[in-house]
């Protein structure tokens, strides 16, 4: 591993309100390698938006250091900080385009404020619009574009100064799943072509799963777990990680049992089950574990959810099972699965998404 | 026409000219002071891009005090200043001085309100690109706020027109002056009504022009 492109050390951020002090971020430590796609995930209010703003000093941390390419942001003079910001692009949930300027001028904006001539800026902007697939919209105004198109313009604008880092603050949260997927694909493509480091702030495990290599899970202003997306998806340790993965704001989850024709009694019955989540690699040749388990224990198992998911580019099978009512049998069933090398998470105490409706 | 002598017609035409002269010049000078004043209020506000409580509170209080003095009283209060600047205290040029003094804080508030409406996210985006405060003011605040600024200017010009007519009571020139002298002191109802109608028409024209410019420039609804 080389030198990290971003290093955050013992970072704290507190906000003083009239009657109390809010600790938005507590002892945050992490580093990002060049070329990585790094996810920072948490429920709303966890402090992740504050954290991303500390990475380019839109928020100045109360304590601690943010080091970008060897520059300690806290030690830079204001002009030097502004100069450095041109190497850190940023996109936002609400796109934040100049509504009174056309697409081309929006992309030119960061170039001209750093002193490029209007002519050169336009030439470069046209190329960037090509990258994001909007070369035919150069003269349109943002209000004429769809959300996905506006975010593409914002991406082109963020890339204008050839940044080494791109910060994405809930960049797909205002978009529908299809458009989200397209935007993530575009980001992945840009990452592969230019080697740009991307930091993705999101509340959606789907987004992290689809595009990130590494992830940090933020809860109540602290990083409670971080590591490879694959590892955390397979074996979440912290409660926050489990909640994000299982209860999570994942529209696909429990679709099978969401059917309106489920009577409340059935839902109640399902809720009483001992529930586990297993994750397995789909390309591993493995015995029909579930079928064998049922035969072995002569007890039915309720398959509540099953899907194959793309986890950081690797296919992973995922199942949620309702086990035997008999606690002992359930224990032995879990042991049986674990013996066969499956990652098993007990999620009995997790919320049941049917209750409050789908919360995404 | 309307029982007016040719001299009276000529007088009314001159009155319209004077009213336009006072209104337009006072608005222009009003913005010379009011625009930077409003920008400073926005920028130094606690949610602004360069918060400064001392400057904000000071300007805020001055604005409030100046805004609470009724125009007619201000007109008399500032007579020494008017005399110093213009050399006399009656006529349309002299009226411009109190008009500007009265309009500037009003404009400052209009500008402040318009600029505060600019989406904070766009300002943040500009900051994330490394824009300095001057660039944010000129390109984001004024650029994105221009429609609201134009709407504010339209309201301002109507208000100043009304004030200029008020100045007629103390020999300020323009249509207000004519309305007082002929309509009120000499009971010439026809002149009174004609000046009122002309004032209404002028306000309508300014409003129409303002709305047209706004609609033409606004790119948010296409």
Tokens of B108: 């400052």
Please give the residue of chain B at the shortest CA–CA distance from A108. Answer: B129
Token pair, residue A320, equals: 């949620």
Interface of B with A (CB under 8 A): 119, 121-122, 124-132, 135, 139-140, 143-144, 146-147, 217-222
**A298 & A332 share domain:** yes
The CATH number of the domain where A289 resides is what? 3.30.70.260
Domain ranges for chain B: 6-217
Beta-carbon separation of A100 and B146 below 8 A: yes
How many CB atoms lie under 10 A from the CB of residue B158?
17
Number of domains in chain A: 2
Does residue A52 form part of some domain?
A: yes
Q: Which of A85, A102, A143 sits opposite B130 (nearest CB)?
A: A85
Based on the domain organization, do A281 and A220 belong to the same domain? no
The verdict on residue A240 lying in a domain is: no
Tell which of A230, A264, A291 closes a domain. Answer: A230
Assess whether A65 and A153 both reside in one domain. Answer: yes
Domain residues for the domain of A79 are 6-230
The CA distance from A208 to A212, in Å, is 5
CATH number for domain B6-217, candidates 1.20.59.20, 3.40.50.1970, 3.30.2310.20, 1.10.3720.10: 1.10.3720.10
Q: How far apart are CA A88 and CA A6, in angstroms?
A: 11
Comparing CA positions, the residue from B8, B33, B32, B172 lying closest to residue B96 is B172
Give SS3 for A236.
Answer: coil
Cβ atoms < 10 Å from Cβ of B128: 24
Cα separation, A254 vs A262, in Å, equals 12
Nearest to B137 by CA among B218, B60, B40, B29: B40
In chain B, what residues touch A58 (CB-CB under 8 Å)?
124, 127-128
Q: Which residue has the higher pLDDT, A311 or A218?
A: A218
CA of B136 to nearest chain A CA: how many angstroms apart? 10
Domain for residue A200, yes or no? yes
Q: Do A156 and A276 fall into the same domain?
A: no
CB A271 within 8 A of CB A283: no
Examine the domain organization and report whether A199 and A158 are in the same domain: yes
State percent of chain A over pLDDT 90. 58
Mean pLDDT, rounded, for B57-84: 94
A63 and A199 share one domain = yes
A142 and A205 assigned to the same domain: yes
- Asked if A85 and B147 come within 8 Å (Cβ–Cβ), the reply is no
Per-residue pLDDT tens over the stretch A131-179: 999 999 999 999 999 999 999 999 999 999 999 999 999 999 999 999 9
Residue A253 pLDDT > 50, yes or no? no
Q: What is the pLDDT of residues A57-80, one digit of tens each?
A: 999 999 999 999 999 999 999 999
Residue in B135, B144, B147 closest to A98 by CB: B144
A248 within domain boundaries: no
Residue A245 belongs to some domain of the structure: no
ipTM over 0.90: no
Rounded to whole angstroms, the Cα distance separating B141 from B118 reads 6
Measured in angstroms, the CA of A47 and the nearest CA of chain B are apart by: 18
CA B156, B161, B166: angle at the middle one, nearest 5?
125
Statement to judge: residues A140 and A268 lie in one domain: no
How far is B110 from B95, CA to CA, in rounded Å?
22
CATH of the domain at A27: 3.40.50.300
Residue A359 lies in a domain: no
Query: Pick from B128, B143, B217: which is nearest to A98 by CB?
Result: B143
The tokens for A33 are 């390698």
Residues of chain A that touch chain B, judged by Cβ-Cβ distance less than 8 Å: 56, 58, 79, 81-86, 88-90, 92, 94, 96-102, 109-110, 113-114, 141-144, 154, 157, 161, 167
pLDDT tens digits, B139-164: 999 999 999 999 999 999 999 999 99
Mean pLDDT value across residues A229-249: 81
Contacts of A142 in chain B (CB under 8 A): 219
CA distance B103 to B80: 18
Give pLDDT, residue A348.
Answer: 78
For an interface test with B, the pick among A79, A99, A102 (most B C-beta atoms closer than 10 Å) comes out as: A99
Asked whether residue A247 is assigned to any structural domain, the reply reads no
């Amino acid at each position: 591993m080389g030198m990290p492109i971003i290093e955050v050390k013992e970072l704290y951020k507190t906000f003083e309100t009239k009657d109390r002090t809010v600790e938005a971020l507590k002892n945050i430590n992490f580093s990002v390698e060049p070329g990585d796609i790094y996810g920072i995930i948490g429920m709303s209010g966890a402090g992740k938006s504050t954290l991303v703003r500390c990475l380019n000093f839109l928020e100045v941390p109360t304590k601690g250091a943010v080091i970008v390419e060897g520059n300690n942001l806290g030690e830079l003079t204001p002009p030097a900080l502004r100069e450095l910001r041109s190497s850190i692009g940023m996109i936002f949930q609400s796109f934040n385009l100049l509504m009174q300027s056309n697409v081309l001028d929006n992309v030119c904006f960061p170039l001209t404020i750093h002193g490029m001539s209007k002519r050169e800026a336009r030439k470069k902007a046209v190329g960037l619009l090509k990258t994001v697939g909007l070369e035919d919209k150069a003269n349109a105004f943002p209000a004429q574009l769809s959300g996905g198109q506006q975010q593409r313009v914002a991406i082109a604008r963020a890339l204008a100064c050839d940044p080494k880092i791109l910060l994405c603050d809930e960049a797909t949260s205002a978009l529908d799943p299809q458009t989200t997927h397209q935007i993530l694909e575009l980001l992945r493509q840009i990452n592969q072509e230019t080697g740009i480091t991307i930091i993705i702030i999101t509340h959606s495990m789907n987004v992290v799963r689809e595009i990130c290599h590494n992830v940090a899970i933020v809860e109540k202003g602290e990083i409670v777990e971080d590591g490879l997306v694959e590892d955390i998806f397979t074996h979440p340790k912290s409660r926050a990680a489990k909640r994000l993965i299982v209860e999570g704001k994942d529209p696909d989850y429990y679709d099978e049992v969401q059917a309106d024709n489920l009577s409340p009694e059935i839902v109640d019955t399902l809720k009483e089950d001992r529930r586990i989540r297993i994750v397995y690699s789909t390309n591993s040749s493995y015995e029909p574990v579930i079928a064998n388990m049922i035969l072995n224990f002569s007890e039915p198992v309720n398959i509540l959810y099953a899907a194959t998911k793309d986890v950081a580019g690797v296919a992973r099978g995922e199942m949620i099972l309702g086990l035997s009512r008999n606690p002992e049998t359930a224990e032995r069933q879990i042991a049986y699965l674990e013996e066969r090398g499956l990652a098993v998470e007990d999620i009995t105490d997790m919320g049941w998404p049917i209750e409050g409706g789908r919360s995404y | 026409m309307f029982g007016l002598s040719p001299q009276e017609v000529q007088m009314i035409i001159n009155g319209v000219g004077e009213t336009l002269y006072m209104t337009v010049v006072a608005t222009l000078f009003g913005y010379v002071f009011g625009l930077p004043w409003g920008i400073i209020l926005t920028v130094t506000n606690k949610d602004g891009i360069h918060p400064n409580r001392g400057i904000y509170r000071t300007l805020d209080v001055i604005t409030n005090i100046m805004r609470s003095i009724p125009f007619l009283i201000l007109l008399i209060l500032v007579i020494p200043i008017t005399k110093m600047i213009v050399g006399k205290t009656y006529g349309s040029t002299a009226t411009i001085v109190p008009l500007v003094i009265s309009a500037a804080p009003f404009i400052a508030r209009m500008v402040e309100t318009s600029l505060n409406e600019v989406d904070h996210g766009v300002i943040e985006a500009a900051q994330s690109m490394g824009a300095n405060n001057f660039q944010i003011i000129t390109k984001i605040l004024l650029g994105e706020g221009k429609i609201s600024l134009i709407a504010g200017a339209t309201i301002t010009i109507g208000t100043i027109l009304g004030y200029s007519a008020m100045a007629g009571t103390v020999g300020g020139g323009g249509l207000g002056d004519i309305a007082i002298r002929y309509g009120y002191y000499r009971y010439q109802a026809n002149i009174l009504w004609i000046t009122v109608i002309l004032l209404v028409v002028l306000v309508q024209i300014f409003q129409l022009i303002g709305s047209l410019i706004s609609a033409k420039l606004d790119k948010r609804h296409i």
